[in-house]
Amino acid sequence: MKSAGPLQDRVALVTGAGGEIGAAIAAVLATMGAAVVVNHRDGTDRAAAELTAESVRMAGAKVAVIAADIGDSVDAHRLFETAWNGFGRLDDVPTAPPRYTR
């Protein structure tokens, strides 16, 4: 059961939640009482996003996993619309930087 926290009844959408920083942000938000929308960009980081979602669930928070590239306006619109429709609100949107490799 989810315990009350300073973010109880808030919904946060975390971009880049398949990466280490995004996963950490999502976990902290969940322990503070927020429901979390876990965003990942594509199929290559789906497994990591699902692990993040599981840690959010373990903290007792509601969670949704949505694949979308926020750099694409159509995908970004769909992401926000899906998050809003799923939870009825959207309060916080912390972003995690993408991983770049050379």
Spans of all domains in the chain: 11-87
Residue 100 pLDDT level (bands cut at 50, 70, 90): low
User: What's the token pair of residue 68?
Assistant: 């979308």
Q: Is the pLDDT of residue 22 over 70?
A: yes
Q: What is the pLDDT of residue 41?
A: 87
Is residue 65 a contact partner of residue 38, using CB atoms and an 8 Å limit? yes
Architecture of domain 11-87: 3-Layer(aba) Sandwich (3.40)
Q: What is the pLDDT of residue 99?
A: 59
pLDDT digit string, tens, across residues 42-76: 777 899 999 999 999 999 999 999 999 988 999 99
CA 44 to CA 56: how far, in whole Å?
A: 20
pLDDT digit string, tens, across residues 73-84: 999 999 999 999
